[in-house]
Amino acid sequence: MALIRYNQLDQVLDSFQKKGNSPGLFLIFGDSYLIKQSFQKLSEFLLGKDKKEFALETLEGGSVSMGDIIEAASTFSFLFSKKIIAVKNAPLFHSHQSNAEAGFSSSDLEHFITFLDKGGLPSNHSLLLMTSDVDKRRKVYKALEEKGLLIDCSVAEGVRKADQDEQEKVLQTVSDQILSKARKTIDRQAFHLLIDVTGVDLELFAGNLEKLIVYSGNRSTISPEDVHAVITRDKKDPMFKLTNAFMDKNVKETLFYLNSMFKDGAHPLQILKVFENQIRKLILVKCRVGKITLKNKKLNLKNTNFNLFKQTFLPEILTLDKELKTQLETWKNSLGEKEVKEKTSTPNDLLLASNPQNAYPVFQVFQKSENFSLNELQQALIFLSDLDYRLKSSSFEAKTAFESFIIKTCSKGGFVYANENQDRRHHF
């Protein structure tokens, strides 16, 4: 059929209405907020004026098999002539792992493609598939493009001016849609202030706009003062979100939270310590994870779910931590009383799971460590060591140095620093 952008959907649905027919197969992908908006428009169109919600069956992609989806789409309803199957978070383009429900297998996808080729959906049946990411090289994508309508809800994630212009345009569209219903407008300065607080998170942006509509009361225009009064950001949030975005290698989000920390008055050495602690933790995981994966060669950390991690990985991690604690105690006992008292560092810094009762952060560090090679992390730590010296001994634009560090570390080519800068690095 065709590939359209989310803002073309109204026009396309109007043309379907005039022609009196529409495809039965749809794939909606991209930003979660825009997916929800497109799904609402599409489902209302397919249900028609009668609004027969019971003709709509919703399935969750992570907990339903391909066979269940095909069966639901093929089986006729006893109550209605129409039937709409909506699959949220359909893992069509995720890698499949036998030990984790990360995606459909190649045989599942072949079965689905065969289903589409051999007649596909019955008359008056519709199948709506929703997912965050797609891989246009995959056979299943080409099959969906040929048989159905694809709705692209993605938003540019780059830091170039063209990307930022597109992001602002999308946010402006969302703002206009929400405010027009309330018959309100937002001051231009307030609009940019709201973007500065929320970033390009459409769900958060829309939710904050709803709060501002209520707060502004009878006034027709939302002011910067309203944003300052209502939309606050926890001072701790940028730090945690900075490290999460960094571990995801998301350049745009990491730069945004870096900028937030500088605006909130964070000292460059404080920010450096945030990065340094995170990288040391990742290096610790990379160096010791081999002792775990040797016993579980088939497991893939990147695609392992949390429950499997707790059952399989966490017990071995705790065993390694216990062994390390024993070694540290032996080392301390071998020292004299004076040396022990002067020892100020805590062994918790060397543990993989310092708080085993809260295992999810441990799971995240292990999973996201797969985004980096050990060499990349070593190069990054050397860079931060040099940056620490420069911050304490000279005056320069620290924010620019951090931005360069983020872009290089999160780039696909990998971070190369030590060899190129060995003549001007500071050795002690």
> Hey, what amino acid is at 364?
Q
47 in Cβ contact with 82 (< 8 Å): yes
Residue that is written with structure tokens 């079965």 in the block: 111
Q: What is the pLDDT of residues 210-229, one digit of tens each?
A: 999 999 999 999 999 999 88
The reported pLDDT for the residue numbered 425 is: 47
Domain match, 78 and 199 both: no
Percent of the chain with pLDDT over 90: 29
The reported pLDDT for the residue numbered 34 is: 95
Q: What is the pLDDT of residues 2-34, one digit of tens each?
A: 899 999 999 999 999 888 888 999 999 999 999
Assess if residue 280 is contained within a domain: yes
The reported pLDDT for the residue numbered 420 is: 52
Assess if residue 325 is contained within a domain: yes
**Is residue 237's pLDDT more than 80?**
no
Structural domain that includes position 55: 2-153
- Cβ partners under 8 Å of residue 293, min gap 6: 299, 301
Query: Taking Cα atoms as reference points, which of 395, 388, 385, 389 lies closest to residue 417?
Result: 385
Residue 382 buriedness (CB in 10 A; 0-12 / 13-18 / 19+): middle
If one compares 373 and 411, the residue with the highest pLDDT of the two is 373
Assess if residue 125 is contained within a domain: yes
Assess if residue 336 is contained within a domain: no
- Cβ partners under 8 Å of residue 372, min gap 6: 249, 282, 286
Angle at Cα 257 formed by Cα 233 and Cα 174, nearest 5°? 70
The reported pLDDT for the residue numbered 290 is: 66
Helix axis angle, 251-263 relative to 237-247, nearest 10°? 160
DSSP 216-256: HTT-SEE-HHHHHHH----TTHHHHHHHHHHHTT-HHHHHH
> What pLDDT band is residue 1 in, cutting at 50, 70 and 90?
low
> What pLDDT band is residue 97 in, cutting at 50, 70 and 90?
very low
The reported pLDDT for the residue numbered 427 is: 42
pTM greater than 0.85: no
Of the three residues 93, 123, 153, the one that is the final residue of a domain is 153
Domain match, 291 and 405 both: yes
The reported pLDDT for the residue numbered 358 is: 65
Q: What is the pLDDT of residues 275-300, one digit of tens each?
A: 998 898 888 888 777 666 545 555 56
> What pLDDT band is residue 126 in, cutting at 50, 70 and 90?
very high
Domain with 44 in it: what CATH number? 3.40.50.300
39 in Cβ contact with 130 (< 8 Å): yes
Assess if residue 421 is contained within a domain: no
The reported pLDDT for the residue numbered 298 is: 52
In whole angstroms, give the CA distance from residue 175 to residue 221. Answer: 13
In whole angstroms, give the CA distance from residue 131 to residue 406. Answer: 28
SS (H, E, C) 159-217: CCHHHHHHHHHHHHHHHHHHHHHHCCEECHHHHHHHHHHHCCCHHHHHHHHHHHHHHHC
Q: Quick check: helix, strand or coil at residue 7? A: helix
Q: Quick check: helix, strand or coil at residue 27? A: strand
The reported pLDDT for the residue numbered 190 is: 92
Domain match, 258 and 309 both: yes
Domain match, 126 and 221 both: no
Name residue 3's beta-bridge partners. 150
> What pLDDT band is residue 37 in, cutting at 50, 70 and 90?
very high
The reported pLDDT for the residue numbered 228 is: 87
Domain match, 148 and 121 both: yes
Domain match, 12 and 120 both: yes
If one compares 375 and 422, the residue with the highest pLDDT of the two is 375
The reported pLDDT for the residue numbered 151 is: 96
Of the three residues 209, 230, 251, the one that is the final residue of a domain is 230
Domain with 177 in it: what CATH number? 1.10.8.60
The reported pLDDT for the residue numbered 99 is: 39
The reported pLDDT for the residue numbered 200 is: 79
Domain match, 209 and 247 both: no
Domain match, 110 and 43 both: yes
Assess if residue 245 is contained within a domain: yes
Average pLDDT, the chain: 81
**Is residue 129's pLDDT more than 70?**
yes
Q: What is the pLDDT of residues 316-363, one digit of tens each?
A: 788 877 887 787 777 777 766 555 545 444 456 677 776 666 677 788
Assess if residue 424 is contained within a domain: no
| Total number of domains in the chain | 3
The reported pLDDT for the residue numbered 344 is: 45
195 in Cβ contact with 180 (< 8 Å): no
The alpha carbon of residue 97 and the mean position of all alpha carbons in its chain are separated, in whole angstroms, by 20
Domain match, 363 and 314 both: yes
Q: What is the pLDDT of residues 136-183, one digit of tens each?
A: 889 999 999 999 999 999 988 766 778 888 989 999 999 999 999 999
In whole angstroms, give the CA distance from residue 363 to residue 372. Answer: 16
Domain with 250 in it: what CATH number? 1.20.272.10
Radius of gyration of the chain (CA): 26
Domain match, 167 and 120 both: no
Average pLDDT over residues 245-254: 87
Assess if residue 87 is contained within a domain: yes
Residue 245 buriedness (CB in 10 A; 0-12 / 13-18 / 19+): buried
> What pLDDT band is residue 426 in, cutting at 50, 70 and 90?
very low
Domain match, 96 and 188 both: no
If one compares 265 and 122, the residue with the highest pLDDT of the two is 122
Of the three residues 203, 230, 257, the one that is the final residue of a domain is 230
Tokens of 300: 């893939």
The reported pLDDT for the residue numbered 221 is: 95
**Is residue 71's pLDDT more than 50?**
yes
Neighbours of 90 (CB within 10 A): 26
Domain match, 207 and 144 both: no
